[in-house]
Amino acid sequence: MQCNFAGLFSAKLAVVSISNPDFMYQEAFLTTYRTFITSRELIEKLVSRYSRFSHMTDPKKKRFSRLAFSLLVRVVDELW
């Protein structure tokens, strides 16, 4: 059985940046994402997610944008 890492990553990213993620889940994600994606790829995906939801008027989708941006800031901060 072959694992679909792209699908698994997308699911993890959705949980971290769309739902109201548990702080510990976010920490675990930020600690381990480098085992399945580069920092650059994650940054690109988070920017894309932010751009996708930031112009929407639905408050729930606006929140998705803010969560993606928050996670993006944390990823970039970790690179320094």
CB distance 15 to 25 below 8 Å: yes
Q: Which domain holds residue 26?
A: 5-79
What whole-number distance in Å separates Cα of residue 2 and Cα of residue 67? 31
**Stated pTM of the model:** 0.73
Of 34, 72, 25, nearest in space to 53 by CA? 72
pLDDT of residue 47: 93
pLDDT tens, residue by residue, 6-63: 555 565 666 565 555 667 777 888 888 888 889 999 899 889 989 988 999 998 888 8
**Nearest alpha carbon to residue 20 among 74, 66, 76:** 66
Tell me, what amino acid is at 39? S
Is the per-residue pLDDT at 71 higher than 90?
no
φ and ψ at 2, to 5 degrees? -95, 135
What's the domain count of the chain?
A: 1
